[in-house]
Structure 1
Amino acid sequence: MKQTPAAFSSHQKMIVALLALTQFTVILDFMVMSPLGDMLMKSMSIKPSQFGLIVSAYAFSAGISGLLTAGFADRFDRKKLLVFFYAGFILGTLCCGLANTYYTMVAARIVTGLFGGVMGSISLAIITDLFDISQRGRVMGFVQMAFGASQVLGIPIGLYLANAWGWEAPFFLVAGVAAVVMALIILRLQPVIAHLAVQRDRSAFMHLWHTVRNRNYRIGFTATALMSVGGFMMMPFGSAFAVNNLHITAEQLPLLFMVTGVGSLFIMPALGKLSDRVDRFKLFTIASLYALVIIVIYTHLAPHPLWVIMCMNILMMAGIMGRMVPFTALTTGIPDMADRGAFMSVNSSLQQIAGGIAAVIAGMIVVQKDKFSPLEHYDTLGWVIVGLTIPCIYLVYRVSNIVKAKLAKGAVVNPASVVTEV
């Protein structure tokens, strides 16, 4: 068992809240595509394969953006980077609400991905700079509560707005909330510049090259990519499966997401605390094996009463997020301070690109004969995820060993994690 980790200062709590709100809007923008999927496919008369491309357009552009910015990610104040990319994300989300054809929606998702896809890596770099590794499990638990909050608040409200005023309304909602959050970041977040004092590479290209060629970093990149492929397989067609296969009505869909999100709000902080107290690899392995069982059951599910579908969604969410919290906390321990921005950017890029590939593959596997027919071969996605998870567990084992070796040498030292009260 680990020692009891240090408590957060009041300034650290404020940072966690701001980053959680930021992630809430970014995740909501991405997550709302799933519940709007059935509505978009019907209104724009697009096929599952085309919807998969809409989802992957965001992922691919986010991946490219992350690679392009990786060399510069450690050369600027992280607060300024956060504000710049957040402003672009807001613009892209507005464009999504204004899109009226399949092609304009793809273009809007590309713009949103170019900016929004980098937000997670910048937030992780800030967390890694300002919090000791013994605190990061709890931080990730709270920040990733944004996932649950988007389901409790954002997705149900977005669906209600979509049902009342059209599918465009949720995008306008996200843009409005994000504008308020960006104003809070500008006013309350102090500059994050400790990493600037330890820069070694004059060239942005060389900084990126030194990051990519690091063997330990590549192990982390590969683990992240493999995790993302599995995660993105089911998500794009979640609402279409619920509506067309499980017979969930359009009126019940917001409630389903809300209940699942409430469960996540309780699960995430508990997982965060647990991952700071027990071995993170063991927690990841247990959660992964548990998730596999639930995913296989869910992807083979037939129509059931709403409460059964709700319970299954909560159980599946517990398994999926039970993997993500300890894995993300582990990953933050891999890079040195001088490389954190670049590492997080490349890591985020690979996550997005792998997820985009997964969405495209899922779109090729899943078939729908017409707008109202059940999805076919959705159960195949469950078995594909099973096959990908086993090698992923081995890669996370190697990541765990890298972090433990650094801790044993005292290499995971974080002078920037001492944040003064303000």
Structure 2
Amino acid sequence: MSETKPTFTSYEKFIIALLATLQFTVVLDFMVLSPLGYILLDKLSITTSQFGLVVSAYAFSAGASGLLTAGFADKFDRKKLLLFFYVGFLIGTLFCGLAPTYELLLAARVFTGIFGGVIGSISFAIITDLFAIDVRGRVMGFVQMAFASSQVLGIPIGLYMAEKFDWHAPFLMIVGLGLIVGVLIVVRMKPINAHLKIQKKVNAFQHLGKTLSRPDYLQGFAATALLATGGFMLMPFGTAFGVHNLGIAESSLPTLYMVTGISMLLFSPMIGKLSDKIGKYKVFLFGSTVTCVMTLIYCNLGVTPLWIIIALNVLLFVGITGRMISASALMTAVPDAPDRGAYMGINSSIQQIAGGLASLLAGFIVSETSTGYIENYPLLGDVVVFAVIITALLMYRIHKYVAVKLAAVAPAGAANSSV
């Protein structure tokens, strides 16, 4: 194992910032649908199950695309692969920004998912190629700040633009920012092709099949499937629940998202450093515990003062972010070097498909009354908590597997300190 670097080089800092900004645009494209939910239910005259389908359509197409491309993921320069799929993602997002009807929006989400769903896996493969395991928690902490940034900047601005102009405006905003990111990838990112020197002479489908069937990897795929359940189930109807059940004024939604996002901007780097210092699984377990407790409280609330909702929401996202950062960093150590692209691609696909199923299921669990009140949200919270508990058990097995794997190539005790 390479020694822990006290600081990152200027190029490494650029890569971290670039991937974080890129992830910001991809995450915002998905997350902006949640706060736009109450607008789309009204403007497009659709049901909760139809809206759930809009959310899950992206996930299903992303999952299918990831599986189809996973076998090829280790056969190309990762920079070229990233650029190809990012351009496709921006075209799909542009279609969302121009879609006049529910049917065309649904089709645009499918197109966007085909390209956008693969970007995360390519980014994680790049991180695994360029950064050692003992600093990946910190790297993931910064890259995962994309989620917080989307709440601090993206969602409030998106909501403002949707109310000021039209619900299409946030998607057009993402395209504008994405064009800048695309130019930076072309101009400043170096080729990432060291993995091409250690590839075995097998075709893409054999590579995919071997990666899918390897027992060591299957437990990681299973954990990923359940890991996606929580966010994908709560997110699509979170805004509608807040407005109609908790009594949040629509004008207060940007404040809620902004305060939560600023808190996550502060906590994400701390969580990343902590996962490198005390162990990624310990941080994951802490995040899971916080997520369970806060989910049970939040989903059973009635009309509540805004300041209490904000405080509870911040704590809930501390738990969710703690799980995401630590799990992402731990998962990068599972695949062997020749399988990284394929593993990350399959992992991303499973996450997207599981998330799509979760969103679809959530649309059938909850229902909207004539006044907009969201029914059965407490039941949704119970399902999420059950999934979080099972995921923690699966992640323990992955933690033990990674510790043994790293111990084989590291001085005694060094591996356990970072996992």
Fold match (TM-score > 0.5) = yes
Equivalent residue for 2:293? 293
TM-align CA RMSD: 1.2
How far apart are the structure 2 equivalents of 1:345 and 1:177? 25
Measure how far apart 1:5 and its partner are.
5.5
Q: Percent identity?
A: 55
SS state at 1:100 partner: coil
- Give me the whole-angstrom Cα distance separating, in 2, the residues matched to 1:29 and 1:349: 17
Matched residue SS, 2:134: coil
Residue 416 of structure 2 corresponds to which residue in structure 1? Answer: none
3-state SS, counterpart of residue 73 of structure 2: coil
1:337 paired to 2:337: yes
| Residue 115 in structure 1 maps to residue 115 in structure 2 | yes
Q: Find the counterpart in structure 2 of residue 280 from structure 1.
A: 280
TM-superposed deviation, 1:4: 6.4
User: Secondary structure, in 3 states, of the residue corresponding to 2:237?
Assistant: helix
Counterparts of 2:389 and 2:242, CA distance in 1? 27
Deviation at 1:277, TM superposition (A): 0.4
Between the aligned partners of 2:91 and 2:113, the Cα distance in structure 1 is 11
Q: Distance in 2 between matches of 1:286 and 1:75?
A: 38
What aligned pairs does 1:13-412 form with structure 2 within 5 A after superposition? 13-370=13-370, 372-410=371-409
TM-score (norm 2): 0.96
> What secondary structure is seen at the aligned counterpart in 1 of 2:375?
coil
* Residues 151 and 260, structure 2, Cα contact 8 Å, conserved in 1: yes
CA distance in 2 between counterparts of 1:408 and 1:266 reads 33
**Structure 2 segments unaligned to the other structure (5+ residues):** 412-419
Q: What secondary structure sits across from 1:42 in the alignment?
A: helix
TM-score by length of 1: 0.95
Q: 1:409 and 1:216 mapped to 2: Cα distance?
A: 16
Alpha-carbon distance in 1 for matches of 2:29, 2:354: 19
What secondary structure does 2:147 align onto?
Answer: helix
Q: Is the 8 A contact 1:6 1:134 kept in 2?
A: no
The residue type paired with residue 387 of structure 1 is: F
Q: Distance in 1 between matches of 2:230 and 2:372?
A: 25
Contact kept, 8 Å, 1:5 with 1:276, in 2: the verdict is no
Deviations 1:269-296 (A, max 9, x none): 0000000101211211121012100011
**Cα distance in 1, alignment partners of residues 294 and 388 from structure 2:** 13
Call closer, same or farther: CA 1:115–1:389 in 2, change over 3 Å. same
Counterparts of 1:50 and 1:292, CA distance in 2: 28
Rounded to whole Å, the distance in 2 between the matches of 1:346 and 1:353 is 10
Q: Report the equivalent of 2:417.
A: none
Q: Which ranges of structure 1 fall in alignment gaps of 5 or more residues?
A: 413-422
Q: Residue 230 of structure 2 contacts residue 387 of structure 2 at CA under 8 Å; is this kept in 1? A: yes
Shift of residue 87 of structure 1? 0.3
Q: How big is the shift at 1:231?
A: 2.1
Which letter does structure 2 place at the counterpart of 1:150?
S
Query: Are the equivalent residues in 1 in contact too, given 2:4–2:135 (CA < 8 A)?
Result: no
In structure 2, give the amino acid aligned to 1:187: V
Residues 175-199 of structure 1 deviation map (CA, whole Å, 9 limit, x = unaligned): 1100111111111100000000000
CA distance in 1, matches of 2:178, 2:313: 27
1:109 maps to amino acid: R
Distance in 1 (CA, whole Å) between partners of 2:383 and 2:202 is: 43
Give the letter for the 2:182 counterpart.
Answer: M
Equivalent AA in structure 1 for residue 77 of structure 2: D
- What SS does the corresponding residue of 2:192 show, helix, strand or coil? coil
> CA shift at 1:202, angstroms?
2.7
Q: Is the 8 A contact 1:6 1:135 kept in 2?
A: no
- Residue identity opposite 1:394 in structure 2: L
Count of residue pairs brought into register by the alignment: 409
Task: Tell me how far apart the structure 2 counterparts of residues 44 and 180 of structure 1 sit (CA, whole Å).
Answer: 31
Contact 2:275 2:282 in 1 (8 A): no
**SS in structure 1 at match of 2:133:** coil
| Residues 13 and 311 of structure 1, relative CA distance in 2, 3 Å threshold | same
Residue type at the aligned position of 2:372: S
For the 8 Å contact 1:48–1:363, the answer to whether it is kept is yes
| Offset at residue 303 of structure 1 (A) | 1.4
